Amino acid sequence: MPAGLVEDSEKKSESLKVQCEKAERDVESSKTLIKDINDQYDEIISWSSLYDSAPIEARKMIVNSMIKRVDVYRNYELNVELNMNIRQFFLGMEESESIPITE
């Protein structure tokens, strides 16, 4: 009977080790993602401060570099395609996609 208990304990221990290793990998992945998001946030904040202090011509150039395309439809419905992906920035998604903006 004690041998069976030892064997069960070893199996549980091995299972917990596997779960622990997976959790450690997930933590490292999350740390990398947080660092990437923080870097992107810092870049956007620097653009914001640059925009606030820039003359109107420079502001136009900044906006031009951020916006890829604007489609205007009836009833003032807009579709704005950005050169940066806000959803990716906030959610940490890897795919690039445009975000339609409508009222």
* Same domain, residue pair 19 and 49: yes
pLDDT tens for residues 20-44? 999 999 999 999 989 988 888 888 7
Average pLDDT, the chain: 80
pLDDT band of residue 64 (cuts 50, 70, 90) is confident
Residues 1 and 48 grouped into a single domain: yes
Q: Are residues 48 and 62 in the same domain?
A: no
Burial-class residue 98 by CB neighbours within 10 Å (0-12, 13-18, 19+).
middle
Number of compact structural domains in the chain = 2
Considering the domain architecture, whether residues 2 and 20 belong to the same structural domain is answered as yes
Confirm if 99 and 87 have CB atoms less than 8 A apart: yes
Instruction: Looking at the structure, tell me whether residues 82 and 37 fall in a common domain.
Output: no
62 and 44, same structural domain?
no
How confident is residue 48, by pLDDT bands cut at 50, 70 and 90?
confident
Same domain, 3 and 46: yes
Domain that holds residue 90: 56-103
